Amino acid sequence: MKGQTGKYSLIASIVSSIVIDVVFLALALLKNSGRTIPLYTDVDIVAGMIFVFILSMIVSASIWPGIIEKRLK
């Protein structure tokens, strides 16, 4: 059961981080599309996506193991 907890929490962390990253991308593109001169360059958006992904992985990696462990019991 312990091995399964790690695998499930890793998968949940990656999936939740990707979802948060897609939301960040959508909001950044929405913000840029409404302007005649783009506020953010493509490099800014990609760098922001990497930053958001890393931060959300750190946070979700600390949250998901407890949730998964409670659900498996």
Of residues 49 and 68, the one with the higher pLDDT is 49
Structure tokens that stand for 55 in this block: 């931060």
- The type of residue at 3 is G
What's the domain range around 49? 2-72
**What is the structure's pLDDT at 5?**
77
User: Residue 36, exposed/middle/buried by CB under 10 A (0-12, 13-18, 19+)?
Assistant: exposed
**How many residues in the chain?**
73
Total tally of structural domains belonging to the chain: 1
Residue 49 CA to residue 27 CA, distance in Å, equals 11
* pLDDT per position as a tens digit, 5-33: 788 888 999 999 999 999 999 999 999 98
Q: Please name which of 26, 24, 15, 25 lies closest in space to residue 60, comparing C-alpha atoms.
A: 15
**What is the structure's pLDDT at 71?**
84
- Tell me the pTM: 0.84
